[in-house]
Amino acid sequence: MSLRPYRALLARPSVPSLMLAAVLGRMPTGMAGLAIVLLVRETAGSYGVAGLVAGAYAVAVGVASPVQGRLIDRIGQTRVLAACGLACAGAFASMALLAGQVGVGALVACAAVAGAANPPLAPCIRALWPSLVGEGSDLQTAYALESRRQSDY
């Protein structure tokens, strides 16, 4: 396997910064479920409650994703991603600060807000590739690199 196509892709303007932003933006997503379980288990003392809170997060991600897609189509990626990022970070921060001080319902609500506001980075980045690299083999290389990085999380 030759790395030449990947090197050529990463030498293009804007591609390295997009890749860096994608990696940094996705780091919390891979850890969210486990972080919720560990936090709630430690503060509530129950894996059942932890599973309920983590489940609320997961269900909210699934329910909100189509709505986010429609919003992105209507008002654009930048505004939706910025709003989602702020809301998701705020919900996670609230959950971390309130854990152990509030009831299960408040933790479920925080997790649901965090899940519903989870920024849809992967589809947004995939939509940007054609405008950055054009069509053809460069686009296929970009999608291959993108799928490899995503599977690492």
The span from the CA of 1 to the CA of 17, in Å, is: 25
Across the range 102-124, mean pLDDT stands at 95
Neighbour tally for 110: CB within 10 Å = 25
Question: How far apart are alpha carbons 141 and 88 in whole angstroms?
Answer: 31
Q: Kindly state the percentage of the chain with pLDDT values over 70.
A: 95
Instruction: Locate 37 and state its tokens.
Output: 């379980």
Residue located via tokens 């509530």: 44
Q: Residue 83 and residue 90: Cα distance in Å, rounded?
A: 11
Poorest-pLDDT segment among 89-103, 111-125, 136-150:
136-150
With vertex at residue 58, the alpha carbon angle to CA 57 and CA 63, rounded to the nearest 5 degrees, is 100
- The structure's pTM equals 0.84
Confidence of residue 153 (pLDDT cuts 50, 70, 90): very low
**Whole-number pLDDT of residue 148:** 65
Q: Mean of the pLDDT values across residues 58-68?
A: 96
The per-residue pLDDT for 103 is: 92
Looking at the predicted structure, is the pLDDT value of residue 138 above 50? yes
